[in-house]
Structure 1
Amino acid sequence: MEELFLHLADKLANYSGKKQYGYLKPELKSVVDAIVDELSADERIKELYDLWYEQRFEILRNYTDEMPSQIPLSQNEEFKPVRNAVIEEAMNIVLDRQSFEDDDITDEQQPEPTDTETESAEPPPPPDEYERLILKPKKNKWDKYHLAKICLDKESAHYNVDEAVEWLISSAQDNYTVAQYKLGKMFLRGEGVTKDVPYAFRWLEEAEKQNNSYAQYLLGKTYLKGEDVPKDIDKAVELLEKSANQHNKYAAYTLGKLYLDGKDVPTDIEKALNFLKASADRGFEAAEYVLGKLLLSGDSAIRNPQKAVEYLTRAAGKGNPFAQYLLGKFYLTDEDMPKDIDRAVWYLEQSAEQGNQWAQFALGKLYLYGSGVEQDTETAIVLLTASAEQGNAYAANMLKSYRHHKNYAACMGVLRLFNHMSRIIQNKLEDDRRGGRGITDRKIRRVEDEKRQAHGQRLE
């Protein structure tokens, strides 16, 4: 019985038509009928239904000797409310499941760009590059910088941070902005050297004056955070805009998030979109994700599901677990394009494998209920447990409900249906005895009860 009830709930969850018996497709009506037939096999319901027929026959004998054959309760048009009660209880299960949805998830924190991302990509030097450069009698600023890079490579036989700093200082003094930026960053973060913010700023500002976009970006981020220097939003925005205007995708992303979040500057969706697009179009996956999410969930003025999927797919292809999760959720619905369960599951699996608690929860829920996939309770529990262990309260509640009250919602729905059916048949018996006056009497009683409640009187 419970499995049949859950099956109906699954079907109704994906049914776009009106949720009343008369509007259902034939295959759904047959499921409702089957549930009513199962319920009517209960001795108490059967006894009441037989009693109704006996009373019916007594009335008919006044007019004819031929009695109609007794038909199943599910086919009796006199008891349409029973079938709609079944649908109502099944929808309660659907709504109960939806209460676990994660629409209130706050924006996930994206990782900061790594050093290799924020610096120009350079091929590794040949194995003998150090020997070749060190023997040059006259070294230019690029030679000195490359020697520094070799000395900073932990895999190199020539790894030596102190020597690297000497070469960087020499290159920076020769006015090589990349060396100035690298030197400033090392001392700002204390990477292999003692942290020295004033000394770091000396070199970063020198590089910034010569329009080094990476120095502008790092200085802008530093003023934005306000950790090593007093927070200065105006200066941060100025520096980040300088960097973004030189096509620095990380600066553009930072500005896009700044105008989107509206914490340190007034929210400006148009600016946010422009900066995020500039970053995403240069291939930064965090920007692709945030822009895709914005275009997918924004208001009607900016919502563009087709472009959203394009950006999210690009980010997901680079392994972004948040983009994979959003795509999985998107393909589970049929709001903007036909539902694609297989694709949804694939993306959710990719995200869940990277430890995304929301993907683990969504996938676990699918397998637990068998919604569009073959039910797999064992896999569901593994996924929900992994999600709950990361602090996901929805997953924890679902596990608790499942472990202690398996099919609890379905069982409660069935119990309520027994009460519904008993009351419906009893009301019908009462109405027939009174020749239809029972309906009127109940309406009068209900109105009187409402009036007494309005005046604070206790109902009997």
Structure 2
Amino acid sequence: MAKLVTKWRYLKPDAARHAQAYIRYIATREGVEKYVEENGARPAVQAQRVLVEKLLRDFPDARRSFEYEDYARRPTVRNASEFITRTLEEHLELFDARFNYVSYIAQRPRVQRSGAHGLFTQEEDAPDLNAAARAVSEHDGNIWTCILSLRREDAARLSYDKADAWRALLRANAAEIAARFNVPVGSFHWCGAFHNEAHHPHVHLVCYADRVQKPALTKEGVVQLRSLLARQIFRDELDAIYIRQSQSRDELRDLFSARLKEAVAGMRDAPAEMPVLESLLERLSEEVRDRKGKLQYGYLPWPVKSIVDSIISELEKQPQVKAAYSTWWELRKTVLSTYRDSLPEQAPPLHTQKEFRHLKNIVLRIAKEGCPAPELEQEFDAVQDPQDRGAQYAVYGAKRLLDAAREEEYPDEDVQTALRMLLAAAERGDAYAQYQAGKLYREGYFLPRDDAGAKMFFERAAKQENHFAEYALGKLHADETSPFFDETKAADWFERAAEHGNGFAKYRLAKYFLNGKGRAVDAGSAARLFAESAQASDVYVRRSAAPWAKYQLGKLYIRGNGVPRDWAKAEELLRSAAQDGNEFAQRLLQRRAQWHRLGPMDAALGVIGSLCRMFETSVPRIRPRCMYLDRKRRRELEQKQRALGHAENDFEPQM
């Protein structure tokens, strides 16, 4: 059972049937309580057992309560009395008027009083009981009642065994509660009372809205309210759970990444291990290849949806996915158990989890557009730049000295002299010096790391069409850790650098076209740029970028993606890349007999990679705990300050 139990009901004005026995019980409540105090540990008497059975027949939902759970476990006089009293209070509207209901919850035994009664509302001062009861009884619209209940041990541990805590909780969330009723908070009215029962402290709540409004509380709204209140009541405990979830998420990410790499290697070497998944992906590809319009799971016919669900179900069978999903579910259950009565021991099928529904659209995209295999190879980086023969010799010498000083010890005065020379040349407008100054700021060598400073110098050099600076700006915008991260701008700068002949930029732009980053997916443009990068004359591009460009272009020829399928051309490119030292090209050549299955295998790996990222980001984030001041209370404090002579907004400065 959930740690917080809530029961919402309508409060109806008409008297009802089957009320005689219940009225008699409430009328003799004081005598019942005296008997319970003296004989509470004894077995329930016959009259109690009969009344319990009658209550269960008339109100089957009474079984869903802490009191019945205790009575079923130990049918004593005290537990029977607790269950009978609680059930009658929940259904008091069947045999008593609205006026008497409000009076009863405000004055019954063990209510925690504030003055003459225990009723409280949104207002700071205690309400007039008769006025509150009259407002409820004379209201001609819908009235809702609710009981919020905790176990004694939870209430004591979390300090919710006092009316003040419940009053603060309900006042702080009045706007959220009103929103679930679909009414403005200004038109929403409520009153409540806290009953400090021995085993199950609880709050009675009465809610209604102005007649001009049309309040409505749906089943989904009930669940949302229970979740909202439970998350705040158990906030301290849930924060600790979220911290453990974050730690487990990091462990899960590392574990899942390692298993993903193992799966990639295994599937590449033995693709027959996933024939069902590959077959389903091929079927789905045929279904969606020529489909026009927005490709979304929700708009597809049922037969196509069933293929998508089958793909995810087949993916779930993979050991590494199954283990990761199981770990995620155990963490998820810990949070859900605070406000849900029951949860399945086994995780529901992955395709039914709303947290991962986006995976269905990823499957559709991969099936329609194809997806290159996850790049496990390290991205090359142009750590060496060709000598700009047009740069001043002194500037180039200063740059060489600074490069050497990174690895060896040089007198500090020499380094500072070289640095001053380089920065002075950059300020004079030398494009090559500006590019090098930007690199120093970007990398944090000899100068504090400053992405803004790096961007400024790179942009100055780029205005003079320095393609190294244009490429550097592309990398700056492509870096997810940079404050200037923007894939569209990165693609723009890579394109400018490529137009000016930068082979590295051509390779990076080709990857963007291939993966749909910063540019629409365009395999034809990707193939053209890979080919240009592979044929570059620059010695540094030939050494580092060209082998990867040949490898990527070879894979496109194998699939027929963006270029006509041509295995002979693919083999030629892959052999050239392998001769240049690309081990991935060599491995692909060794599996030539399996090339016909490269597309489905890559699609399967793309789905697994997407799921890996979703596991990393689906754990709820910890929200910072902040204290908020009610607007009305803030106005009151401001009025007091002005009365004491303070000017408006004359507050102490925040430290």
TM-score of the aligned structures, taking structure 1 as reference length: 0.47
Could you state the TM-score of these two structures normalised by the residue count of structure 2?
Answer: 0.34
Larger strand percent: 2
